[in-house]
Copies of this chain bind each other. A is one copy, B any other.
Amino acid sequence: MNKRIQLKNRIFQIIEKATEDDKASKKFDIFIMTLIILNTIAIVLESFNSLSEKYSLYFTVFEVISVIIFTIEYLLRVWTSDLLYLYSKGKLSAMLRYIFSPMAIIDLLAILPFYLPMFIPFDLRFLRMFRISRLLRLLKINRYTKALTVIINIIKSKKDELLATVFMMLFMIMISSTMMYYFENQVQPEAFPNIVASFWWAIATLTTVGYGDIYPITAMGKILASIIAVLGIGIVALPTGIISSGFMEVVTNKFKNKEIKIDEEKKEMICPHCGEKIHYK
């Protein structure tokens, strides 16, 4: 029994992010990373009709092997979840906590499209796109790089202001879309058949993407579009100003040698599973 616990502990060490000395764990990390990258390449290549027809077998075999590996890894993670959430009440609680953690949902999403057609008779081909979600796991490896952590922390610290900007943007989209529908609907009913179609125009204009697939042709519509395009500059300026000030706070703190808000010196990490801070050493 003690041996079983030892095995479980070892497996947990291996599947979790490697410490500096743990070579087996490191190799496992590299193996999974490589597999994810190969899977991503396979997804891209498979999208070419000529390739997917010609090498259909190879793609299938590779996917079956990949899914088996990822499934085993997923099950092992569920099994060892009580070692991750040490303070959980009971094993089941730890398992559920793990299963509903964002990273586990992403993992499940990536393997589910393979199993679902076995149970559900519908055409679920489009579900296959969720296989790409696996790629997000690579962020887990990179999120500990200093720069990405700084950026994510700055975005988090400015979450309120950024959400307020998004909120203002939604108001502008809603109001301008409705007005544009009333201006343009009668003149070009195919381009602006309803207000939801207007949303598409409003977003393309506010974000200054401007595909040019639909645009106003009436005088009033053009005046409204001009106002929205100019306000679109403000919508770019606001998050930029917010993020700039976030970066500046970090810089200002550095110079003042005061308590640094986004602490880079203290050995601190954010748990990828629960999002809570862990201080170590």
Chain A residues packing against B (C-beta within 8 Å): 40, 43-44, 47-49, 125-126, 128-129, 132-133, 135-136, 138-139, 142, 145-148, 150-151, 154, 160-161, 163-169, 171, 174-175, 178-179, 181-183, 185, 193-196, 199-200, 203-205, 207-213, 215, 222, 225-226, 229-230, 232-252, 255-256
Contact = CB atoms under 8 A, between A and B. Distances in A.
A193 B234 contact: no
A258 to B, nearest CB: 8
Contacts of A236: 233, 236-237, 240
Q: SS class of chain A's interface: helix, strand, loop or mixed? A: helix
Given A175-B136, A182-B126, A237-B236, A169 B230 contact: yes
A229 B245 contact: no
Contacts of A126: 182-183
B195 A47 contact: yes
Number of identical monomers bound together in the oligomeric complex: 4
A129 B179 contact: yes
A161 B147 contact: yes
B136 A171 contact: yes
Nearest to A201: B211
Nearest to A150: B161
Contact of A249 (B166, B234, B246, B251): B251
